[in-house]
Structure 1
Amino acid sequence: MSERLVDAYDLVIFDLDGVIYLIDRPIAGAVEAVGELHRAGVPLAYATNNASRRSPEVADLLTGLGVPADAGEVLTSAGASAAVLAQRLPPGSKVLVVGAEALRAEVRDAGLEPVSAAEEKPAAVVQGYGPQVGWADLAEAAVAIRGGARWVATNTDRTLPSPRGPLPGNGSLVAALRTALGQEPDLIVGKPEPELFAAAARRVGAVRPLVVGDRLDTDIEGAVRAGMDSLLVLTGVHGPADLLAAEPERRPTYVAADLGGLFETADAARVPPAEVEGWRLEDGGGPRLTGDGTAIDALRLLVGLAWSGGDATKVTPDTSAARDALHALGLAA
């Protein structure tokens, strides 16, 4: 029996939004996939850039969705940012918090004092996603940073996935401050910085972790920076066209339609592929896709063309199956 992709790894690190759930709804097949990993005894971790929930809250949410988890398996950018600030500031230092109550609580538990006004002379500003963040919060942060406060962003995801499509993420709010201040944050803690992944591996002593995510610019780039293999699933933010255009630092080891790809053979999900069953690319007046097979296998073949310098956006279908595959991938002309 061929070895499953997941069997070559001693830890699976999942992103959450767009991989396990969308806001508070489980993604199809996610509960079953995680259940299978639990039955097989595979160590799991969850690393999220979303700073609006604390680790116990995330674990409770996952458990409520049918994905049993404990707080020790969850790493958040909020907790990591508070820990970094505690390392760099004297105990009791004031920190202006722009974000959700979860971020304030993490700052408080790290031995620092969360504040809301620039007049309180904070030593740092920490900015994370919060659905209630508004102009007044950004204004206080701008004044504090101009006054000398260190600016720390939990993450810079431009969007976050939702059942209604991508919505503005913390990166969009960071961009507003960046425009107003004419400067970059002093520190960005979350993905694509590698620390969340490295911390997850340290917790269980893993030497060959696999990162699973839906974003090339955070999950996959973060895995590349951490020296870890990665699986891109097409259930969240980034899709086939994004994968074709991915720069080398944002290229995953594997791609799959969903978490079911964990249980395929590694060769069935690897990009670019050594070979693809059923599909061929032929040249003659431009590249043509011919044959029959799954849409995800057609995508893997196109990735090989794109990453070797070819123009995969110019591929035309040579069979009705090829036409259907390109349409399913959103790549039809």
Structure 2
Amino acid sequence: MSERLVDAYDLVIFDLDGVVYLIDRPIEGAVEAVGELHRAGVPLAYATNNASRRSAEVADLLNGLGVPADPGEVVTSAGASAAVLAQRLPPGSKVLVVGAEALRAEVRDAGLEPVARAEDRPDAVVQGYGPQVGWADLAEAAVAIRGGAQWVATNTDRTLPSPRGPLPGNGSLVAALRTALGREPDLVVGKPEPGLFATAALRVGAHRPLVVGDRLDTDIEGAVRAGMDSLLVLTGVSGPVDLLSAPVERRPTYVAPDLSGLFEVAGAATVPPDEVEGWRLEDGAGPRLVGDGTAIDALRLLCGLAWMGGDATRVAPDSPAARDALHALGLA
């Protein structure tokens, strides 16, 4: 039996939104893929920038979707941010929380006192995504930070995926404060910082983890910073055009349409590839895509062109199959 991509790794670290589920709906094939990994005895972890749920809540959500998960397998930016603050501040210090109740609970469990107003004179402000966060919350945070409070952001994701398309994420709310204050947060805890991935690997003693994500700017860059291989799946935020224009620090080891890529023959999902079955690029008046094959294999081939400085967005089709592949990739 040929070795599968996943067989080369001793831990698979999943992002959640856009990889396993969209808000609260499982992505097609995700339940089956995770089930196959469990049956094969592959250690799993889940690392999410979403600070609106605690680890136990995330595990409950996954189990409710048919994805077996234990709270110990889940690393959230909310829990990591609270842990960082507990290291930086004396026990009982006041922290102004901008975000969901899950973030407040994590701060409380870390031995700190969550508050909601600048007049409480907090030592720090921690800012995470929460669907009810509004202008009044941002105003209190702005006053507290100008008064000397440390400013910690759980993450700076500009958007979060949903069945209706990308919606404003915590990074958009951080940007509002950044504009008002004229400065950056003192610390960003979540991806693309490598801490969540390093924590997940440390928990199980993994030496060769694989990160699976849907975002180049968080999941893939975070994996690169952590020195880990990564698989980009095209079920969430980043798409083919984004991948073609990705800078070096945001380039994945592999790309696949979805989690089925974990079970491809080793090397079949590598990007850029050594060779691609069915496709080739020829140059005349300009680059042309020649042959017949899958759209994802065409994308992998085009990444080789783009990452060497070529303009893969101007590749012309040389056959109906090539035209269909470019159209599927949004490059027609």
SS at structure 1 position matched to 2:290: strand
**Counterpart Cα distance in 2 of 1:202 and 1:313:** 41
Q: CA deviation at 1:15?
A: 0.0
Q: CA deviation at 1:266?
A: 2.5
Q: CA deviation at 1:58?
A: 0.1
**Counterpart Cα distance in 2 of 1:273 and 1:159:** 30
**Counterpart Cα distance in 2 of 1:45 and 1:263:** 18
Amino acid in the other structure paired with 2:50: N
Q: Which residue of 1 aligns with 2:302?
A: 302
Pairing 1:17–2:17 present: yes
Q: Which residue of 2 aligns with 1:145?
A: 145
Q: CA deviation at 1:294?
A: 0.4
Q: Deviations over 1:83-137 (max 9, x none)?
A: 0000000000000000000000000000000000000000000000000000000
**Counterpart Cα distance in 2 of 1:256 and 1:30:** 13
Amino acid in the other structure paired with 1:88: R
Q: Which residue of 1 aligns with 2:188?
A: 188
Q: Which residue of 2 aligns with 1:206?
A: 206
1:209-228 alignment, distance < 5 Å:
209-228=209-228
Q: Deviations over 1:6-56 (max 9, x none)?
A: 000000000000000000000000000000000000000000000000000
Amino acid in the other structure paired with 1:77: S
Q: CA deviation at 1:156?
A: 0.1
Q: Which residue of 2 aligns with 1:56?
A: 56
Structure 2 spans left out of the alignment, 5+ residues: none
Pairing 1:136–2:136 present: yes
1:32-111 alignment, distance < 5 Å:
32-111=32-111
Amino acid in the other structure paired with 1:27: I
**Counterpart Cα distance in 2 of 1:51 and 1:34:** 23
**Counterpart Cα distance in 2 of 1:329 and 1:199:** 35
Q: Which residue of 2 aligns with 1:277?
A: 277
Amino acid in the other structure paired with 2:116: S
Query: How many residue pairs are counted as aligned between the two chains?
Result: 332
Q: Which residue of 2 aligns with 1:316?
A: 316
**Counterpart Cα distance in 2 of 1:304 and 1:241:** 13
SS at structure 1 position matched to 2:95: strand
Percentage of pairs with the same residue: 89
Q: Give the structure-1-normalised TM-score.
A: 0.99
Structure 1 spans left out of the alignment, 5+ residues: none
**Counterpart Cα distance in 1 of 2:2 and 2:307:** 28
**Counterpart Cα distance in 2 of 1:29 and 1:54:** 25
Amino acid in the other structure paired with 2:207: V
**Counterpart Cα distance in 2 of 1:90 and 1:165:** 42
Q: Deviations over 1:257-301 (max 9, x none)?
A: 000000002311000000000001000010000100000000000
Q: Which residue of 1 aligns with 2:328?
A: 328
1:151-162 alignment, distance < 5 Å:
151-162=151-162
**Counterpart Cα distance in 2 of 1:249 and 1:65:** 33
**Counterpart Cα distance in 1 of 2:326 and 2:266:** 23
**Counterpart Cα distance in 1 of 2:267 and 2:310:** 22
SS at structure 1 position matched to 2:289: strand
**Counterpart Cα distance in 2 of 1:300 and 1:7:** 21
**Counterpart Cα distance in 2 of 1:65 and 1:331:** 34
Q: Deviations over 1:173-205 (max 9, x none)?
A: 000000000000000000000000000000000
Q: CA deviation at 1:329?
A: 0.8
Q: Which residue of 2 aligns with 1:118?
A: 118
